[in-house]
Amino acid sequence: MMLRSCATQLMNPGQQIVSIWSATPRCAAPWNVSVALLSTRHAPWRPSAGLHHLSAYRVPFRSSTGSEVLKNTRRPYFLKPFSFAMSRTSLHETHDGEFKRKESEFRHFISREPGAEFPPEADRYHLYISYACPWASRCLAFLKLKGLDHAIGVTVTKPKWGETKPSVDDHHGWMFLEDGEDVPGAMKDSLNNAKSIRDLYEIASTGYTGKYTVPVLWDIKTMRIVNNESSEITKMFNDEFNDIAKHPEVDLFPEHLKASIDSVNSWTYNAINNGVYRCGFATKQKPYEEAFNQLFEALDRCEEILSKQRYIAGNELTEADIRLFMTLIRFDEVYVVHFKTNKKFIREYPNLFNYTKDLFQVPGIGATVNMYHIKHHYYGSHPSINPFGIVPVGQKIDYSAPHDRDRFSKESA
């Protein structure tokens, strides 16, 4: 969102409100920002304590007229570049109105092969997650289903993004619990004493300029990020820790279903898992509608498949189910409203809804769902979508209610 226009009349310097910059072709500025300006005379460049949902700034200016501010918006002393963007959150991966997710950057692999740089060892690795993040929650589900809780520690961030380095820039991201705070389910980082996920990236990689995402699989021994790509972390947990796992018999990538799993993942990722984000973060009507239509075509396809078999890739619980579940469980409570995916609720699909309840009731999967974190993250961390941070009450769906999926035979779960 480029800084494009503002109200034509500002209040006198020193008074507390200015104008909201929004979207028209005029007054295009060189910064990627969408910001409310707070006028004070000779104020420093720093985020204002007020109006935080609108990313307010204190901006020195010499005239109370909007026209002079408009005339001078390209001068660097009028506005600090809005570095919340910095290509470091999903909110800013939009090009030509279409959301395009970037690939993860830390791609090392834990392996049982002799001489591997990262061998599977108990108490060597640590998983950083947010309950809100569907990608991170996949990894937590694998960790629990494989019985790796005793060997790999877990730290959970607070649900709502916060300022990661307010004295340096305006980036907002995943934060850890601090002394005196009470956020149920969130934790302090007792391992590295980091204040944010950003701190971990900067400990591991000096000069890192990418996104500060979860999950993070951390190597305690070398103080490095092993991997931050959920699809690879889940494969490591499934395959490489069987000598340590309490449930080595659990195989979520069974050989006889790999082709089916890969096929399902290929179309559910773009249309459903990432599709809800393509709807929610679109900034133009056409890409939004394209993503919307693809999303519901894919959900209809899932509904049809699940009318014939218990799980999405066959009659066994697999990685494809965990991927799909993490989107479905967030759909009615968040995506329908927040991401405008409002054609149908999941609870309006008989097979998908019963399937979601079935998976929720699997020990190790339901334990990854913290609806407080899910709702407070999405509704509280995306000011361009929900500027006042109001969290809808919702219907409090009971996913522990009986389901009908037992009508299908299953080989294992």
Query: Which sequence positions are flagged as catalytic?
Result: 133, 277
Amino acid present at 141: A
Q: Which of 362, 391, 374, 291 is nearest to 329 (CA)?
A: 374
Contact status, residue 99 vs residue 281, Cβ threshold 8 Å: yes
Q: Is the peptide bond before 215 cis (omega within 30 degrees of 0)?
A: yes
